[in-house]
Amino acid sequence: MTPDFLYGTAWKEDRTAALTELALRTGFRGIDTANQRRHYVEAAVGAGLAAAYRAGVVSRAELFLQTKFTYRAGQDHRLPYDPAADLSTQVAQSVQSSLEHLGTDYVDSYVLHGPASGHGWTDDDAEAWAAMARERDAGRVRLLGVSNVFLRHLEQLAASGAETPAFVQNRCFARFGWDRSVRAFCARHGIQYQGFSLLTANPEALRHSLVAGIAALAKVTPAQVVFRFAQAIGMLSLTGTTDAEHMRQDLASRTVVLSSDEVRTIENLA
């Protein structure tokens, strides 16, 4: 089952293991990472998971683990595959490396970190996507996703006859109706939308008088109102907070009460 919050492990470097373990102790059951050393330390996420298992905090079966395949262009020199190999081989090598890093024999979700071009769904994307589907068919991956996509990527992927993803993970800007057109595509195709940078991309929403007013009345923070709003419109939120109190607050945002009018107004802030 997909949890209602994902703890993101980007940009934590030597704090990655401890923060992953802390997130699990605080109650997160979904972990997002990537086999992209430039922004993530996937092996340290695995160390954090192992520490939590050892301490009896959680078992593998209770967790939702998501990681990503990142093209050469999105990586630095620390590659999880042979750059001279074809893309299908790179995907297989990256998955194998992720499973070793995470100490597991399957991941719950495997995401194409970003398409090869901003202009559309390319032959490279089709090859990587087909290779990801083979990993799924072989049981090493349960569900597939794509990230950093525009509507045209999704439309072209669907038009190609390839299977549509189970997840779309995008940076979510309030000023674009919280990624309205991509969310609408997801709703039509039964795709679960995952939103990141909900706070950092939207300072104007956090400062907005409506959000601030709801937060003050409910004695919660504007960040909690935004996370609860995201949940109310069917989004799966990511948070990568490094702060124990923010971890608690983010999970507790589930209980913030928003009326349907408030949800609609926040959705149309831009």
Contacts with ligand NAP by CB under 6 A lie at 8-10, 32, 113, 147-148, 169, 196-197, 199-200, 221, 223, 238-243, 246, 249-250
Q: How far is the CB of 196 from ligand NAP (least distance, A)?
A: 4
Minimum CB distance to ligand NAP smaller for 56 or for 238? 238
Which DSSP string do the residues of 192-228 spell out, in sequence order? EEEEE-TTTT-HHHHH-HHHHHHHHHHT--HHHHHHH
Q: How far is the CB of 6 from ligand NAP (least distance, A)?
A: 7
Minimum CB distance to ligand NAP smaller for 138 or for 205? 205
Compute the distance between CA of residue 252 and CA of residue 89 in angstroms, rounded to an integer: 42
Q: How far is the CB of 77 from ligand NAP (least distance, A)?
A: 19
Secondary structure element (H or E) that encloses residue 171, with its range:
strand 167-171
Minimum CB distance to ligand NAP smaller for 159 or for 225? 225
Minimum CB distance to ligand NAP smaller for 122 or for 197? 197
Antiparallel, parallel or unpaired: β 192-196 and 5-8: unpaired
Q: How far is the CB of 56 from ligand NAP (least distance, A)?
A: 26
Contact 233, 178 (CB under 8 A): yes
Minimum CB distance to ligand NAP smaller for 74 or for 85? 74
Residue from 147, 152, 153 nearest 167 by CA: 147
Minimum CB distance to ligand NAP smaller for 70 or for 90? 70
Compute the distance between CA of residue 183 and CA of residue 178 in angstroms, rounded to an integer: 8
Place of tokens 């209602």: 4
Compute the distance between CA of residue 65 and CA of residue 145 in angstroms, rounded to an integer: 13
Q: How far is the CB of 84 from ligand NAP (least distance, A)?
A: 25
Contact 84, 41 (CB under 8 A): no
Q: How far is the CB of 210 from ligand NAP (least distance, A)?
A: 18
Minimum CB distance to ligand NAP smaller for 234 or for 264? 234
Contact 202, 176 (CB under 8 A): no
Alpha-carbon dihedral angle through residues 107, 25, 18, 170, given to the nearest 10 degrees: 50
CA angle, 93 then 130 then 64, to 5°: 65
Give residue number: closest CB to ligand NAP. 8
Q: How far is the CB of 162 from ligand NAP (least distance, A)?
A: 20
